[in-house]
Homo-oligomer: A and B are copies of this chain.
Amino acid sequence: MVRLRGFKERTIVRDAVKALEGVRFKRVDSEIVEITRACGRILAEDIIAKYNVPHFDRSAVDGYAVVAEDTFGANLNNPVMLKIVGEVEMGEEPIEMSRGTAVRVSTGSALPKGANAVVMLEYTKEVGEFVEIYRPVVPFENVSREGEDIKAGEVVLKAGEILQPQDIGVLASLGYAKVKVLKKPRVVIISTGNELVEIGEELEVGKVVNSNAYMLFCALKMYNCEPSVYGIVRDDFDELKKAIIQALSVGDCVITTGGTSVGKGDLVPEVVKEIGKIVFHGISIKPGMPTGLGVIDGKPVLMLSGFPVACLIGFELIFPHVLAKLTGVRVVKRRGEGVKAKLKRRIPSKAGVRTFARVIYKDGFAEPLMTSGSGILTSMVRANGIVVVPEEKEGFEEGEEVNVVLVRDLIEEVT
């Protein structure tokens, strides 16, 4: 009754994670990629605005560009008459105008030279070559000023952020065709066990297909890693040692399956002990008890059970912590998930309209962003959540509990 030695120590999960966090792992390198390939990747540089956004004064509404001073005193009974001297559509270069005149503009049009405000269409009426202005505007009313959204030199995105589609849009707006991101961690999968055969090989009695490698390959891709498969290694100390050393030479991390529970053919921890250090081996979980972690030359070796379910559960429990150490970024919650939050400020909305308010979620609170217009780029990178006000409500009150849908991964920095 003694052949099975049994695990001397089964670490509880909390202690295993603590031990893991105490180890220094080599961080993955960075690389420069095209922005179309950067989504979901971890930003490895601060993004600094190369120019002002907008880079010209532009109209924030459809209407007439004017000299504000011309409109003072205008009202419904005494409209101001201005001569229409032209039109600037979106994308067109601005024309010049002077006092006493007006120019037709659309939302986004460059403000004509000489103009300093825009009167909304609703408060005007064209009469022949003239336009009647029914309401005064102050200087720069209805104008998005150059640099109002982003000032040249401003840090728009910080290193460590996980890039979202909206960030890619902002990068494009700022003229970035490429961006520096962390490399995808290269993870090499080693399958151990004399019983394993590859798909397509003859499945003799006693053999099983090496399915864990395929399963982990896919799971690793879901974590935005770059998996590769070393293949099957027999239960032999020297072969296994050779395999692990070779895998470590190309990978940021090695994952083994099989050969970790205590028994005759369970050699992986022995090899790790010889050429590196065991961080923990044997956790008090079920299934997945033989899960272990080692470190060799600053690189993690995650040792998983050969049994598929135990393998996947051990992986899902430990790998995210390993990944956080490799990248310096821990994902706390994923984009698309919902969190409850208390509103820091009222969100107004119109009955009958479903309103999507951008908020900054932090520690159980949601702070609505003060934004004007739907084109404001900074709000897209500053907000990490959306509060949806349904049609039947007229906004949410300060202090009210709301559901925040995350529009970016919630992350924590890892040392």
Contacts and interface: CB of A to CB of B under 8 A. Distances in A.
A177 B200 contact: yes
Given A165-B222, A355-B286, A379-B309, A171 B88 contact: no
A247 interface: no
Interface residues of A, number: 107
Contacts of A287: 356, 374
Interface in A149-190: 163-166, 168-177
Interface stretch (A24-32, A211-219, A272-280): A211-219
Interface stretch (A35-43, A65-73, A237-245, A294-302): A35-43
A192 to B, nearest CB: 11
A92 B194 contact: yes
A362 to B, nearest CB: 20
A62 B312 CA distance: 22
A253 B287 CA distance: 44
A200 B51 CA distance: 13
B374 A205 contact: no
A203 interface: yes
Contact of A305 (B125, B216, B354, B374): B374
Interface in A241-286: 263-265, 284-286
Contacts of A94: 205-206
Contact of A285 (B36, B175, B353): B353
Contacts of A110: 205-206
A329 to B, nearest CB: 17
A58 B207 CA distance: 10
A373 interface: yes
27 contacts: A1-B123, A12-B352, A12-B391, A39-B222, A89-B264, A90-B194, A90-B206, A91-B206, A92-B206, A93-B205, A94-B206, A169-B211, A172-B213, A173-B208, A176-B199, A177-B199, A284-B352, A284-B391, A285-B355, A285-B356, A287-B356, A288-B356, A307-B373, A309-B379, A309-B380, A310-B374, A313-B356
Given A88-B206, A286-B354, 9 more contacts: A91-B206, A106-B264, A168-B215, A168-B218, A175-B199, A284-B391, A285-B355, A287-B374, A334-B334
